[in-house]
């Protein structure tokens, strides 16, 4: 029996077989199983495997290996960057800037800063979901410590001009944090060209294992960060705890694979996304949330008039795996705050579905998924009350 078509790459990418094989070697009796902090030969062997992985992770984003800190994922990386940088410089001012469409890991970190007495400027996106660099510049104050703007949005796929924002921040000597969890490994990331000080990303979005991520910390001059956890002083004293060698190795392999065919794969995935959008046109009235370029190649956020996204997902169970919003916000029954910020009503938010394709998505998958969605929409709309299709957004 054929498995459901997986269209939830924005939530997590399937583990690449080469990554799984490399991790399995690490977990075997002949692999680098020792504590990488140990001083004996086996410890040094594990440490060497981690440093090789660190170099591969750094290479994906145009960084030097020593600028990469391993974490448990992008959530921890975001928190370490935002809370760590602001708490370390709290006596220099208490103003920070972010947007209303950031990932929940960033939003909640800034809410914590508000509870600690920091002043936060919450930027509203343009109609297509982007943060205008001019907005950032207008929000800066003499006491601004940090700006946090994501590269690619996890719900709509729209991409911000982080290089332009970085130039503004660098000129004003304000730290720039970028959440690149959705973009690293899917589109080019150049931390130096961005003038970024802190960049968060993770392994499981690009074919690596869950449970490991990275934080890029600009090497010179190095931003001062206050650690969130304490212990053995690993990762330059900023992230204590024994590193999981097999996860680091898997992360490194995933980054090497992603870097090898980055542009070719992005072109292929983008074409699949656009084909899916075309195949869904018979479901009109429908609309595309976000849209326009530049955008991440794999994310398509679609609103279908007359239906409720969760009902559509239930109807698609066993046929298509997708999401009605961010996986990190799935437990909440609230409409997407990202789509709300774009001006959609609660009804419009609830009628929207995020479909995301990736490395292992084939033409056949897109065809099957579109057919299943159209069939489900026809059935659900047939049960909708009169006038439901007119209540679009």
pLDDT at 390: 62
Q: What is the CATH number of domain 5-13+262-390?
A: 3.90.1150.10
Catalytic residue at 328?
yes
Burial string for 49-58 (b: 16+ CB within 10 Å, else e) reads bbeebbbbbb
- pTM given for the model: 0.95
pLDDT digits (tens, 9 = 90+) for 35-83: 999 999 999 999 999 999 999 999 999 999 999 999 999 999 999 999 9
pLDDT at 383: 84
pLDDT at 326: 54
Provide φ and ψ at 166, rounded to 5°: -60, -40
**For the residues 70-99, what does the mean pLDDT come to?**
94
pLDDT of 391 strictly over 70: no
pLDDT digits (tens, 9 = 90+) for 127-168: 999 999 999 999 999 999 999 999 999 999 999 999 999 999
**Pairing verdict, β 299-304 and 68-71:** unpaired
The CATH class for the domain spanning 17-260 reads: alpha beta
pLDDT of 329 strictly over 70: no
% pLDDT > 90, the chain: 88
* DSSP result, 187-239: B---HHHHT-SEEEEESTTTTS-TT-EEEEE-STTPPP---SS-SS-TTTTTS
91 pLDDT tier (thresholds 50, 70, 90): confident
Which range among 176-190, 233-247, 280-294 has the greatest average pLDDT? 176-190
- Domain boundaries in the chain? 5-13+262-390, 17-260
Cis, peptide link before residue 34, omega less than 30° from 0? no
Mapped onto helix, strand or coil, the DSSP state of residue 356 is strand
Q: Running DSSP on this structure, what letter comes out for residue 393?
A: -
Cis, peptide link before residue 294, omega less than 30° from 0? yes
Q: Which of 184, 203, 159, 154 is nearest to 325 (CA)?
A: 154
pLDDT at 334: 78
pLDDT at 368: 98
- Among the residue ranges 53-62, 200-209, 319-328, the one predicted with the least confidence is 319-328
pLDDT at 366: 98
Annotated catalytic residue within 255, 321, 328, 349 = 328
pLDDT at 382: 87
Q: What is the mean pLDDT of the chain?
A: 94
* 180 contacts 208 by C-beta, under 8 angstroms: no
> What residues form DSSP beta bridges with 376?
none
pLDDT of 14 strictly over 60: yes
pLDDT of 392 strictly over 70: no
2 pLDDT tier (thresholds 50, 70, 90): confident
pLDDT of 271 strictly over 90: yes
pLDDT at 359: 98
Q: Please provide the distance, in angstroms rounded to a whole number, between the alpha carbons at the two ends of the chain.
A: 38
pLDDT at 247: 98
pLDDT at 252: 98
pLDDT at 393: 57
pLDDT digits (tens, 9 = 90+) for 368-388: 999 999 999 999 998 877 766
Q: Running DSSP on this structure, what letter comes out for residue 2?
A: P
* DSSP result, 95-109: EEEEETTS-HHHHHH
């Amino acid at each position: 029996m054929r498995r459901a078509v997986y269209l939830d790459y924005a939530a997590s990418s399937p583990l690449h077989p080469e990554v799984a094989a490399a991790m399995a070697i690490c977990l075997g009796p002949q692999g680098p199983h020792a504590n990488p902090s140990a001083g004996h030969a086996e410890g040094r062997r594990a440490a060497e495997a981690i440093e090789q992985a660190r170099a591969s992770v750094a290479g994906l984003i145009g960084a030097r290996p020593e600028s990469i800190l391993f974490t448990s994922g992008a959530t921890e990386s975001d928190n370490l960057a935002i809370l760590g940088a602001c708490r370390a410089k709290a006596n220099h001012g208490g103003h920070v800037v972010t947007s209303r469409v950031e990932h929940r890991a960033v939003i909640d970190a800034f809410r914590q800063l508000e509870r600690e007495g920091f002043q936060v400027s919450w930027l509203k996106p343009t109609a297509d979901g982007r943060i205008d660099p001019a907005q950032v510049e207008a929000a800066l104050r003499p006491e601004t410590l940090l700006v946090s703007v994501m590269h690619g949005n996890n719900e709509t796929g729209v991409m911000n001009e982080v290089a332009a924002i970085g130039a503004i921040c660098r000129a004003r000597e304000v730290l720039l944090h970028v959440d690149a969890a959705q973009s690293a490994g899917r589109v080019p990331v150049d931390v130096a060209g961005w003038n970024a000080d802190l960049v968060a990303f993770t392994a499981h979005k690009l074919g690596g294992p869950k449970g490991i991520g990275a934080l890029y910390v600009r090497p010179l001059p190095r931003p001062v960060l206050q650690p969130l956890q304490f212990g053995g002083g690993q990762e330059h004293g900023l992230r204590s705890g024994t590193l999981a060698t097999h996860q680091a190795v898997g992360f490194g392999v995933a980054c090497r694979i992603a870097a090898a065919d980055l542009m070719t794969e992005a072109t292929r995935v983008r074409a699949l996304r656009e084909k899916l959008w075309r195949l869904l046109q018979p479901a009109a009235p429908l609309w595309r949330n976000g849209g326009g370029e530049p955008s991440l190649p794999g994310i398509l956020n679609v609103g279908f008039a007359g239906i409720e996204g969760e009902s559509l997902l239930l109807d698609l169970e066993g046929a298509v795996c997708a999401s009605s919003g961010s996986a990190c916000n799935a437990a909440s029954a609230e409409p997407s705050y990202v789509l709300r910020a774009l001006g959609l009503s609660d009804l419009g938010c609830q009628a929207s579905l995020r479909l995301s394709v990736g490395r292992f998505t084939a033409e056949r998958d897109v065809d099957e998924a579109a057919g299943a969605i159209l069939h489900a929409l026809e059935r659900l709309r047939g049960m909708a009350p009169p006038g439901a299709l007119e209540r679009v957004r």
